[in-house]
Amino acid sequence: MVEMPKGVTTRIIREEGDWDAVRDDWNTLYESSPCSSVPLDFVWLRGWWRVYGALYGTGGLRIVTVWRGSRLIGAVPLYVGRGTGRSLGTRHLRFISTGEAVHEETCPDYLNLLCLAGEEAVCADAIWGEAGRMDWDHLEFLNLMEDSPLLRGTTLPHHARSFSRGSCPIADLTDGFEAYLKRLSLKSRAQARRVLREGEHAGAQLELVDAVQAAGAFDDLVRLHRERWTLDGKPGVFAAARFTEFHRNLIREWLPSGRAVLARLSLAGVPAAVLYGFVHRGKFDFYQVGARREVGSLVHSPGILANLLLMRALTERGVTAYDFLRGSSSYKLRLATREKRLVGVRIWRPTLRAAIYRSVQLAGRVVGKGQQLMRRS
């Protein structure tokens, strides 16, 4: 066990009222921490718990906070979820806003330890120490920055297993939109300019939606997204009531200040695409899009056009990076100039619940592969 430096203490928050009581401390830490990201904002976390917590967080909050005297210097927002059915109530320790069912998951990227500069090692050691004393069968921290202090702490358990969670393609907008285009490969630059010319000839209009227009633009996003996925025989995440409620609340909270962005592309006055994302420290995180697949011959890809026009508009607001977040869409890779890797950490304890859960999961994968082989044959 690592001994905490003099004056450093930890506190585990298990009740919502206690969490609300440190909101101002959390916000102060968030603004100062070099590790902060959109899904670590108090509004995002508290909103997720309000919408999803009753279903997924039945084991309760386990928010680890680290204090130096009366100052909050570090925090990790965790909760315990319990498995059902044949998993015999397996206890999963996770970041808040992870662990949902696939059809309604919020997929947060850049999760991390919130901490003050210079306090990384102290906070990481304190948090791993507290996590080790909690009751859980399975620990799973997803979508961490690969340079997260949590991965460098001296008390990182030796049996922790890290794994890739993919990468986030990022477009460098430093020095403006034209400078960005010059950073692309010759082929990607030519394709981007062709899309922009198509949009200009078609009279495409991109508007950054204000608070008055927000509800209507969000409805357009939901409708276009669902129509797009229905063509592939899938419902899309906006078919999930909790997912839609969570983001409608975020937009209501963040759009007036410019923290959330809704951008609507119209052709002949008809919405063809709506982009949705967040601005944090000069970076835009592109989170969701709803786009018509076919809009005639004038614009072949309204979604790509909307992204390019939004990049240009955001540079005028001081945004210097456009992050496509995780995803394997080819257009994201073509429009990006660099990428940032994310990782996950997983620990299984040798408990009966864990053994049963893993056996059930393995059996399910074996059956699934067998069914695939039968269908192919």
User: Which tokens belong to 235?
Assistant: 């419902």
| pLDDT of 377 above 50 | no
pLDDT score at 131: 96
pLDDT digits (tens, 9 = 90+) for 189-220: 999 999 999 999 999 999 999 999 999 999 99
CA distances from 212 to 251, 283, 313 (A): 12, 24, 20
Domains in the chain: ranges and CATH: 8-168+341-376 (3.40.630.30), 174-319 (3.40.630.30)
Q: Give the pTM.
A: 0.92
| pLDDT of 375 above 70 | no
First to last CA, the chain: 56
- pLDDT interval class at 358 (50, 70, 90): confident
DSSP three-state, residue 89: coil
pLDDT score at 32: 98
pLDDT digits (tens, 9 = 90+) for 16-62: 999 999 999 999 999 999 999 999 999 999 999 999 999 999 999 99
Pairwise pLDDT comparison (294 vs 262), residue with the higher score: 262
Q: Write the CB contacts of 347 (distance below 8 Å, at least 6 apart in sequence).
A: 138, 139, 157, 159, 160, 161
pLDDT score at 333: 94
Can you state the angle between helices 42-56 and 241-254, rounded to 10 degrees? 160
Q: How far apart are CA 121 and CA 111, in angstroms?
A: 17
pLDDT digits (tens, 9 = 90+) for 266-317: 999 999 999 999 999 999 999 999 998 765 667 889 999 999 999 999 999 9
pLDDT score at 370: 60
What b/e sequence results for 49-80 when a residue is b if at least 16 CB atoms lie within 10 Å of its CB, and e otherwise?
bebbbeebbebebbbbbbbbeeebbbbbbbbb
Could you tell me if 36 and 148 are in contact, meaning their C-beta atoms sit under 8 angstroms apart?
A: no
| pLDDT of 86 above 90 | no
